């Protein structure tokens, strides 16, 4: 049985962690112990924020739709209620994109659900 | 489909003139902060400054309503020991109305470098005139030109 020195694996493991921590601030990119903690934490944040991303975007879409609704003389709340009543199942992502890339279409939609915009 | 994110070239800045005469300072500042931040535009993007420029005139005629808002103290520090100074909001509004309004709006913007950039688009003036007629006309001309160019390409 050949002799196994542990330094080789340790060095390999350390190298991997330090590589993942490249670009971090201060000691976090150079010191193994600090880098190890930072890499573990970054993984936790990444996992959590992949879930939070869905909420963040929904909030952004709502903000944009709200702005477009107010330009059309109504409010977000009234608009969403009217969409439900008219049985239109466009989601907020599509609606916010419409408000930006197709303002005339958005105005037409406001008219279709019975919210008359002030000026076209 | 990817959610749209405003690029610097997509941002068209307008100039908005707001008359503060008879307006409560806080309610005025809420609306101003929204415009500076760009939350009134469908292209609003949190990490970009999509807002318009705002000019407030008649700053000295803004008011505080209610019983004690005007008595609420505002603090600053001279950086010497014991150097804390305080004056009531009402007195600040009388002595330096432009600063009082600017300060209120500042508190309603994001407290970071982007917020500082947004605040630079706000100009507050005493009296009913302001020196930015040329900028307002320039923005209108740019908008007209952009509209004409848009029609030409369609």
Look up the ipTM and state it.
0.83
Nearest CA in chain B to A95: B42
Chain segment B49-108, per-residue pLDDT in tens = 999 999 999 999 999 988 788 889 999 999 999 999 999 999 999 999 999 999 999 999
Q: Which of B4, B40, B46 sits opposite A100 (nearest CB)?
A: B4
3-state secondary structure at position B18: strand
Cα–Cα distance measured from residue A21 to residue A42, given in angstroms and rounded to the nearest whole number: 9
Chain segment A50-62, per-residue pLDDT in tens = 999 999 999 999 9
How do strand B53-57 and strand B122-124 relate by DSSP bridges?
parallel
Chain segment B100-153, per-residue pLDDT in tens = 999 999 999 999 999 999 999 999 999 999 998 888 888 888 878 877 776 665
User: Nearest C-alpha of chain A: how many angstroms from B43?
Assistant: 6
Per CB-CB distance under 8 Å, the chain A contacts of B154 are none
Q: Which of B4, B39, B40 sits opposite A97 (nearest CB)?
A: B4
Cα–Cα distance measured from residue B53 to residue B55, given in angstroms and rounded to the nearest whole number: 7
Contact (CB, 8 A) for B51 and B31: no
User: Nearest C-alpha of chain B: how many angstroms from A99?
Assistant: 6
Contact (CB, 8 A) for B97 and B62: yes
Closest CA to A17 of A2, A1, A32: A32
Cα–Cα distance measured from residue B129 to residue B151, given in angstroms and rounded to the nearest whole number: 35
Outline where DSSP puts E strands in chain B.
Answer: 15-19, 53-57, 73-77, 84-88, 122-124
């Amino acid at each position: 049985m050949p002799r196994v020195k542990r330094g080789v694996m340790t060095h390999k493991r350390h190298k991997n962690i330090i590589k993942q921590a490249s670009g971090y601030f201060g000691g976090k990119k150079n010191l193994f112990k600090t880098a190890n903690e930072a890499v573990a934490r970054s993984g936790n944040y990444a996992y959590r924020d992949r879930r939070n991303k869905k909420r963040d975007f929904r909030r952004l879409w709502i903000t944009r739709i709200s702005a477009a609704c107010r330009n059309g003389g109504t409010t977000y709340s009234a608009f969403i209620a009217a969409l439900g009543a008219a049985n239109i199942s466009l989601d907020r992502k599509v609606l916010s994109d419409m408000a930006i890339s197709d303002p005339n279409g958005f105005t037409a939609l406001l008219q279709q659900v019975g919210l008359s915009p002030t000026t076209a | 489909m990817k959610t749209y994110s405003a690029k610097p070239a997509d941002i068209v800045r307008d100039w908005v003139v707001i008359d503060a005469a008879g307006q409560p300072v806080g309610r005025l500042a809420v609306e101003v902060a929204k415009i500076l931040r760009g939350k009134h535009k469908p292209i609003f993007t949190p990490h970009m400054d999509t807002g318009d420029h705002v000019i407030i005139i008649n700053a000295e005629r803004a008011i505080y309503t209610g019983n004690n808002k005007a008595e609420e103290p505002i603090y600053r520090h001279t950086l010497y020991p014991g150097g804390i100074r305080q004056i009531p909001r009402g007195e600040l509004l009388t002595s330096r109305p432009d600063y009082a309004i600017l300060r209120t709006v500042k508190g309603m913007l994001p407290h970071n470098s982007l917020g500082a950039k947004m605040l630079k688009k706000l100009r507050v003036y005493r009296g009913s005139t302001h020196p930015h007629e040329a900028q307002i006309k320039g923005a209108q001309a740019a908008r007209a030109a952009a509209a004409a160019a848009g029609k030409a390409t369609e």
